[in-house]
Amino acid sequence: MEDESELALERDLGPQPLAEILAKHGLSHHDLVAASTAQLTHKMVARAVKGRRLTPNTMGKVLQALATASGQRYSAEQAFTYVNDQKRKK
């Protein structure tokens, strides 16, 4: 049972800086979905904001949509707290 709870904790990383960035620009989850040229869903954006781990592909879609909607580029490190952890593990 402990292994399951450890995995759950690792996947749920809490609110991400992405939420603050969206608020700073006055953007909603829907604004990112609408700005995306790739297939980005409301569920993907919600997971990104909540701190669920994203695949690199989904993370790229979210960052590209954020750049389009806000007119400003953000790195993965600026939007997600766990990116540096992933790089260290490799």
pLDDT over threshold 80, residue 19 = yes
Residues 60-90 have pLDDT tens digits of 999 999 999 999 999 999 999 988 765 555 5
pLDDT over threshold 60, residue 36 = yes
pLDDT over threshold 50, residue 9 = no
Torsion of CA 73, 78, 80, 85, to 10 degrees: 130
Report the distance separating Cα 22 and Cα 46, nearest Å: 12
pLDDT the model gives residue 90: 52
Report the distance separating Cα 1 and Cα 89, nearest Å: 24
Ramachandran region, residue 71 (left: φ > 0; alpha: ψ -120 to 50; beta: rest): left
pLDDT the model gives residue 8: 47
